[in-house]
Structure 1
Amino acid sequence: MQVSTRPAVPVAGFLITLLGAVLFSTKAILVKLAFGATHTDALTLLMLRMLFSLPFYVGVAVLVSSRKDNVRMTRAQWGLVALLGALGYYVSSLLDFIGLQYVSAGLERLILFLYPSFVVFINALFFKERITGVQKWALLLTYLGIGIAYVGELTIDPSRQGLYLGSFLVFLCAVTYSMYIAGSGKIIPLVGANKFTAYAMLAATAGIFGHFALVGRGEVLAASQSLWGYGLGLAIFSTVLPSFLISQGLKRIGANNVAIISGIGPISTIAQAHFFLHEPIFLAQIGGTVLVVLGVLLLSWKRPAATAAA
């Protein structure tokens, strides 16, 4: 009998997903570099990110809406898509960008990686999904890891200004993003993933543009040409390109494998922060990161359903 040597996960799908996860992890690095080089504010940087991302999502929205199998959304669904988009990529992103003014890129990524645990709590509270024994252990590992990494961060630099405020803002970002994830999981099966993503991003962009029109600092845009380069980099390399790569990864290797491979995110951010931002790597950070990643992998892992004996 010939034994198949085909890998469990196709190599192309693995590499596409890995690249998407690594590119997503560059967001905090680019934001920190932009703050240091241009002294801009979070709202201005976020506005530029969405400005350069806008043409891509408009194109996707037009494309999916013109297809023969396009699903016509109800008024309630339009409202829900707009609400989730504003929550997930306007409110969450603004909280994240402001928080990055006070915390390290490595700590930001670890705190953000709590969002899968918040999704579990939301599904249990609002959708009556039971928290399993494995999930309880996963939650324990995740929060223990964050605690270890956070104590280590305080030990390295106990005098850092705004550390608690920045951590709280990133924590709120993880909470609001988990609401987006939980809600999108309910509506995507009804309207389609591409259509939901495109219109949710457009709703978020409208919120950000409106916010900037009211209180934004337009003079900052004219004063710093390099700021536009950072905005373009955030749009292409940390938003549009990885979102399409991860979508392809989901198509090729499935959600479980994508969740597992995406565990590289915090590790990638910490490594990049060390090389590009000169942030220190310390033992508590490494140990906490390992526990957080293990906890998220347990939360993401879905065991195969039992099958009848042949």
Structure 2
Amino acid sequence: MTSSVPATDAHAANTRRVGLALAATGAVLFSAKAILAKFQYRHGIDALDVLALRMLLSLPLFVALGVRESLRPGHARITRRDFGRILVLGVLGYYLSSLFDFWGLEYVPVSLERLILFLNPTFVLLIGVFAFKRKVARREWVALAVSYAGVAFVFVENLRVQGDHVLFGSALVLLAALSYALYLSMSGQLISRIGSLRLVALAMCVSTAATLLHYVIARDPTRLLHLSPEVYGLAAINAVFCTFLPVTFTMGAVARLGAGTAAQLSVLGPVSLVFLGAWLLGEAITPIQLIGTAVVLGGVLLLTRPGANSVPVAPPR
């Protein structure tokens, strides 16, 4: 009887370590899509082209993942209500969020885009307050204020240096952060029913369908067949290393840690991109950017506490 307690504790600790590793790796890989998008824009394509190529090239991977997960024994049957929620999650998580993000990147540097996406954990927290009646400690409200103050600090500097287009681009990226926070918050309970990998595979198929419908309505789809080899190469890297792998890693982390903790680990992505943007794209790193990044990072880290999940998530099977 007593020997089972340490074994249970060891299993829980190992589950948490795996979840933290998945969340951290997923955050860095997912953030790198901004660098690839900037490189693709140099070849004369726009946000919708980038998104359509990304979804098309990653679709076979997610279909294969979905088939594999559906054949696993023990999964609950997907109900009509589940399908409805999957449709909503697919539109929010990887269609709207990605579209707003890539569109915003046409107007703002990757350093500011990542800093705005720093706010994702604060959105998850607020969604937990208003939608799931979660109680919030005083230090968490302080953390929210600190985070938003840091973003405002850097935003004003970019607005002064780069012009009014930064305002529009920042608003788009903010919508991307809100869409993804909604996705994370709403996915927690569904993950416990149908499994994290099966959910993400289905959601990505929905996102791909929404993206292609948008593309067909907006322009001639044959345009995607006449792009440069460099664009296709960058799109393939985006699809595998900045979409398929980080998406599956993130959902695995949510299943093990909960939506709140997984979102908090996303801070590693923006930190890495501040320096990757300077190295690969030649974007300047100013003292104000570094101060603002440090302020926002400090605010988000204040939100980290054991069991601070905005959405109740059952233990992984």
TM-score (norm 2): 0.84
1:213 to 196, 216, 236: 216
1:173 aligns to 2:158 (yes or no): no
Name the structure 1 match of 2:75. Answer: 70
Match of 1:140 in 2: 145
RMSD over aligned CA atoms reads: 2.6
CA 1:115–1:11: 2 relative to 1, 3 Å: closer
How high is the TM-score relative to the length of structure 1? Answer: 0.86
> What is residue 293 of structure 2 aligned with on the other side?
289
Local SS of the residue matching 2:73: coil
Alignment partner, residue 54 of structure 1? 59
Amino acid at match of 1:278: G
Task: Report deviation, 1:258.
Answer: 5.6
Residue 27 in structure 1 maps to residue 27 in structure 2: no
Matched, 1:270 2:262: no
Whether the 8 Å CA contact 1:40–1:220 is kept in 2: the answer is no
Partner residue in 2 for 1:203: 206
Q: Match for 1:80: what amino acid? A: R
SS at match of 2:303: helix
Counterpart in 2 of 1:109? 114
Aligned to 1:232: 236
Q: SS at 2:52's partner residue?
A: helix
Task: Name whichever of 86-95 and 122-131 sits farther off.
Answer: 122-131
How many residue pairs match? The answer is: 294
User: In 1, Cα distance between the equivalents of 2:38 and 2:279?
Assistant: 13
User: Mean Cα displacement is larger for which, 64-73 or 223-232?
Assistant: 223-232
Tell me if the contact between 1:146 and 1:288 (Cα under 8 Å) persists in the aligned partners.
yes
Contact persistence 2:23–2:253 (CA under 8 A): yes
Superposition deviation, residue 286 in structure 1: 0.8
Equivalent-residue separation in structure 1 for 2:127 and 2:246 (angstroms):
26
**CA distance in 2: counterparts of 1:88 and 1:125, whole angstroms:** 20
Distance of 1:41 and 1:247 partners within structure 2: 28
Q: Is there any run of 5+ residues in structure 1 with no aligned partner, and where? A: 1-5, 305-310
Letter in 1 for 2:186: G
Q: CA deviation at 1:298?
A: 2.4
Match of 1:84 among 89, 93, 114: 89
Q: Distance in 2 between matches of 1:175 and 1:300?
A: 19
Q: Give distance in 2, aligned partners of 1:175 and 1:13.
A: 23
Contact 2:58 2:244 in 1 (8 A): yes
CA offset digits 1:114-164 (Å, max 9, x no partner): 122112222222222222212101101110110111122234x243x5111
- Alignment of 1:120 with 2:125, yes or no, is yes
Answer whether contact 2:196 2:251 (CA < 8 A) is retained. no
What is the rounded CA distance, in whole Å, between the counterparts of 1:35 and 1:262 in structure 2?
25
Deviation at 1:21, TM superposition (A): 2.9
Distance 2:46 2:172 in 1: 15
Q: Mean Cα displacement is larger for which, 268-277 or 119-128?
A: 119-128
Change (3 A) 1:269 1:247: same
State whether residues 53 and 224 of structure 2, in contact with CA within 8 Å, keep that contact through their aligned partners in structure 1.
Answer: no
Partner residue, 1:164: 167
Q: Is the 8 A contact 1:106 1:269 kept in 2?
A: yes
